[in-house]
């Protein structure tokens, strides 16, 4: 029996693997997508309990585009999203996401790369335990 389904969307395969191993070791079921389109497909198919989303993938707006799609469908509303930023992404990204998803989106957390897998595991545990 797993503790929850988590979708990691990031074009950085190392980030995906590291967090997959850490989260699996903590008892979660993990699936991964390496771009926004693939990510949306998996969200539709797998209905994850939580999403780890890199804001900047191959194209700068790929993460943001996905956020627009999520907002459109009532069934996705409320999936906790952890946004992963890095020093190469624009500093206004968090605000853009808050704007797109709306302030009332239940859980949005921001992590700046490099982020320790243990930190992610702890934060996931906190959110999904509720």
Partner 1 sequence: MTVARVRVLVVDDEPAMCRAIERVLVKDNYEVRSVNTGEAAVELLEREQFEILLADLRMPGMDGLTLVERVLALDPSLVAVVLTGYPALDTAVEAVKRGAYNYIPKPFTPNELRSVVQRACEHRKLQVEARELREARAEERARLLAVLESMHDGVVVVDQETRVVLYNQAATTLLAPGAAPGQPLDAVVRDPVLTRLAGAALAGRALAGGEEIRLEGRTYLAMASSVRDHERSWGAVLNARDVTPLYHLARLRANLVAAVSHELRSPLAAIEGYLDVILDRPDVDADCRRMLERCRTRARGLQRTIVSLLDISRLDDRRRERALIETGPALAAEVEAWRGAAERAGVKLEFFLSPGLPHVLANEADFSCLVGNLVDNAIKYNRPDGRVEVKVWPEPGYVVMVVEDTGMGIASEDLPHIFEEFYRVRNQDTALIDGSGLGLALVRKVAETYRCRLEVDSQPGLGTTFTVRWPVPG
Which member of 15, 93, 97, 105 binds partner 1 (CB under 8 A)? 15
25 sits near partner 1 (criterion: CB under 8 A): yes
Q: Is the Cβ of residue 21 or residue 45 nearer to partner 1 in the bound state? A: 21
- Round to whole Å and give the CA distance between 36 and 21: 22
Q: Under the criterion CB under 8 A, does residue 113 sit at the interface with partner 1?
A: yes
Q: Kindly state the DSSP code that residue 113 receives in the 8-state scheme.
A: S
Regarding 21 and contact with partner 1 (CB under 8 A), the answer is: yes
Whether 33 and 42 have beta carbons less than 8 Å apart is answered as: yes
Beta-sheet pairing, 81-85 with 50-54 = parallel
Residue 90 binds to partner 1 (criterion: CB under 8 A) = no
Site string for partner 1, 39-78 (x = CB under 8 A): ----------------------------------------
Helix (H, G, I), strand (E, B) or coil at 29: strand
Under rule CB under 8 A, residue 18 binds partner 1? yes
CA–CA separation, 123 and 57 (whole Å): 23
Q: How far is the CB of 41 from partner 1 (least distance, A)?
A: 26
What is the DSSP track for 63-91? HHHHHHHHHH-GGGTT--EEEEE-TTS-T
- Provide the binding-site residues for partner 1, judged by CB under 8 A: 12, 14-15, 17-19, 21-22, 25, 88, 113-114, 116-118
């Amino acid at each position: 029996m797993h503790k929850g389904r988590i979708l990691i969307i990031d074009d950085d395969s190392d980030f995906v693997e590291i967090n997959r191993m850490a989260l699996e070791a903590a008892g979660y079921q993990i699936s991964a997508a390496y771009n926004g389109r693939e990510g949306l497909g998996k969200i539709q198919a797998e209905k994850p309990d939580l999403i780890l989303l890199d804001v900047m993938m191959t194209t700068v707006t790929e993460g943001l585009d996905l956020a627009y799609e999520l907002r459109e469908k009532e069934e996705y509303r409320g999936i906790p999203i952890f946004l992963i930023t890095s020093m190469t992404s624009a500093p206004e990204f968090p605000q853009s996401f808050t704007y797109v998803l709306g302030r009332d989106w239940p859980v949005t957390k921001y992590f700046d790369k490099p982020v320790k897998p243990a930190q992610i595991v702890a934060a996931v545990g906190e959110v999904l335990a509720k």
